[in-house]
Protein backbone atom coordinates (compact mmCIF):
# COMPACT_ATOMS: atom_id res chain seq x y z
CA UNK A 1 0.00 0.00 0.00
CA UNK A 2 2.90 2.37 0.76
CA UNK A 3 4.43 1.83 -2.67
CA UNK A 4 1.09 2.40 -4.39
CA UNK A 5 0.67 5.65 -2.44
CA UNK A 6 4.14 6.77 -3.48
CA UNK A 7 3.57 5.90 -7.13
CA UNK A 8 0.22 7.68 -7.30
CA UNK A 9 1.59 10.69 -5.42
CA UNK A 10 4.47 10.80 -7.91
CA UNK A 11 1.94 10.74 -10.75
CA UNK A 12 0.00 13.64 -9.22
CA UNK A 13 3.27 15.55 -8.78
CA UNK A 14 4.20 14.88 -12.42
CA UNK A 15 0.78 16.15 -13.53
CA UNK A 16 1.37 19.38 -11.63
CA UNK A 17 4.81 19.82 -13.17
CA UNK A 18 3.08 19.43 -16.55
CA UNK A 19 0.44 22.01 -15.52
CA UNK A 20 3.27 24.38 -14.54
CA UNK A 21 4.92 24.02 -17.95
CA UNK A 22 1.63 24.31 -19.79
CA UNK A 23 0.47 27.40 -17.91
CA UNK A 24 3.78 29.21 -17.60
CA UNK A 25 5.43 28.46 -20.94
CA UNK A 26 2.99 26.93 -23.44
CA UNK A 27 -0.16 28.90 -22.62
CA UNK A 28 -0.23 31.32 -25.56
CA UNK A 29 1.20 28.88 -28.10
CA UNK A 30 -0.48 26.17 -30.16
CA UNK A 31 -0.41 23.62 -27.31
CA UNK A 32 -2.16 25.98 -24.90
CA UNK A 33 -4.69 27.05 -27.51
CA UNK A 34 -5.52 23.46 -28.39
CA UNK A 35 -5.66 22.30 -24.77
CA UNK A 36 -7.98 25.09 -23.62
CA UNK A 37 -9.85 25.51 -26.92
CA UNK A 38 -9.30 29.27 -27.01
CA UNK A 39 -8.05 31.68 -29.61
CA UNK A 40 -4.51 33.05 -29.68
CA UNK A 41 -5.86 36.46 -28.61
CA UNK A 42 -7.69 34.97 -25.61
CA UNK A 43 -4.64 33.02 -24.54
CA UNK A 44 -2.34 36.01 -24.96
CA UNK A 45 -4.63 38.28 -22.92
CA UNK A 46 -4.61 35.82 -19.99
CA UNK A 47 -0.95 34.81 -20.22
CA UNK A 48 0.15 36.54 -16.99
CA UNK A 49 -2.74 35.09 -15.00
CA UNK A 50 -1.98 31.63 -16.33
CA UNK A 51 1.69 31.95 -15.42
CA UNK A 52 0.71 32.81 -11.86
CA UNK A 53 -1.56 29.78 -11.78
CA UNK A 54 1.25 27.63 -13.15
CA UNK A 55 3.55 28.81 -10.39
CA UNK A 56 1.04 27.63 -7.79
CA UNK A 57 0.88 24.25 -9.50
CA UNK A 58 4.66 24.13 -9.20
CA UNK A 59 4.39 24.69 -5.46
CA UNK A 60 1.91 21.81 -5.21
CA UNK A 61 4.29 19.58 -7.17
CA UNK A 62 7.20 20.62 -4.93
CA UNK A 63 5.22 19.73 -1.82
CA UNK A 64 4.25 16.35 -3.22
CA UNK A 65 7.85 15.62 -4.18
CA UNK A 66 8.93 16.68 -0.69
CA UNK A 67 6.46 14.12 0.69
CA UNK A 68 8.28 11.44 -1.30
CA UNK A 69 11.91 12.34 -0.55
CA UNK A 70 11.80 14.34 2.68
CA UNK A 71 12.45 13.19 6.22
CA UNK A 72 10.54 9.99 6.85
CA UNK A 73 8.66 11.32 9.88
CA UNK A 74 7.29 14.21 7.77
CA UNK A 75 6.29 12.26 4.68
CA UNK A 76 2.80 11.26 5.81
CA UNK A 77 1.57 14.65 7.10
CA UNK A 78 3.15 16.54 4.20
CA UNK A 79 1.61 14.14 1.67
CA UNK A 80 -1.84 14.35 3.26
CA UNK A 81 -1.66 18.16 3.34
CA UNK A 82 -0.55 18.63 -0.27
CA UNK A 83 -2.88 15.98 -1.69
CA UNK A 84 -5.73 17.67 0.19
CA UNK A 85 -4.72 21.01 -1.36
CA UNK A 86 -4.78 19.43 -4.82
CA UNK A 87 -8.23 17.96 -4.16
CA UNK A 88 -9.64 21.31 -3.02
CA UNK A 89 -8.09 23.07 -6.03
CA UNK A 90 -9.47 20.39 -8.36
CA UNK A 91 -12.98 20.62 -6.94
CA UNK A 92 -12.92 24.41 -7.12
CA UNK A 93 -11.61 24.29 -10.67
CA UNK A 94 -14.33 21.83 -11.66
CA UNK A 95 -16.98 24.13 -10.20
CA UNK A 96 -15.64 27.34 -11.74
CA UNK A 97 -13.76 26.44 -14.92
CA UNK A 98 -14.66 23.02 -16.27
CA UNK A 99 -15.85 19.64 -15.09
CA UNK A 100 -12.87 17.89 -16.69
CA UNK A 101 -10.62 19.35 -13.96
CA UNK A 102 -12.37 17.05 -11.48
CA UNK A 103 -11.15 14.02 -13.42
CA UNK A 104 -7.71 15.31 -14.42
CA UNK A 105 -6.68 16.91 -11.13
CA UNK A 106 -8.93 15.94 -8.21
CA UNK A 107 -9.59 12.26 -8.92
CA UNK A 108 -5.93 11.16 -9.08
CA UNK A 109 -5.27 13.08 -5.85
CA UNK A 110 -8.31 11.49 -4.17
CA UNK A 111 -7.01 8.05 -5.13
CA UNK A 112 -3.50 8.90 -3.87
CA UNK A 113 -4.90 10.25 -0.60
CA UNK A 114 -7.06 7.17 -0.10
CA UNK A 115 -4.04 4.91 -0.58
CA UNK A 116 -1.97 7.11 1.72
CA UNK A 117 -4.52 7.04 4.53
CA UNK A 118 -5.09 3.30 4.19
Q: Measured between alpha carbons, how far is 59 from 74 in angstroms, rounded to an integer? A: 17
Q: Is the pTM of this model over 0.75?
A: yes
Q: Provide the pLDDT for residue 34.
A: 94
Q: How many residues does the chain have?
A: 118
Q: 80 by DSSP, 3-state: which?
A: helix
pLDDT (tens place) for every residue of the chain, 118 residues total: 899 999 999 999 999 999 999 999 999 999 999 999 999 999 999 999 999 999 999 999 999 999 999 999 999 999 999 999 999 999 999 999 999 999 999 999 999 999 999 9
Q: Provide the pLDDT for residue 83.
A: 98
> Diameter of the chain by CA atoms?
48
Q: Measured between alpha carbons, how far is 101 from 118 in angstroms, rounded to an integer? A: 25
12 closest CA partner among 93, 102, 117, 109: 109
What is the DSSP code (8-state) at residue 29?
A: S
Amino acid sequence: MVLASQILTGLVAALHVYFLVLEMFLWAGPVGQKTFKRSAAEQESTKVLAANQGLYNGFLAAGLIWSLVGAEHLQYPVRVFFLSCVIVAGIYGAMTVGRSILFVQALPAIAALALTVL
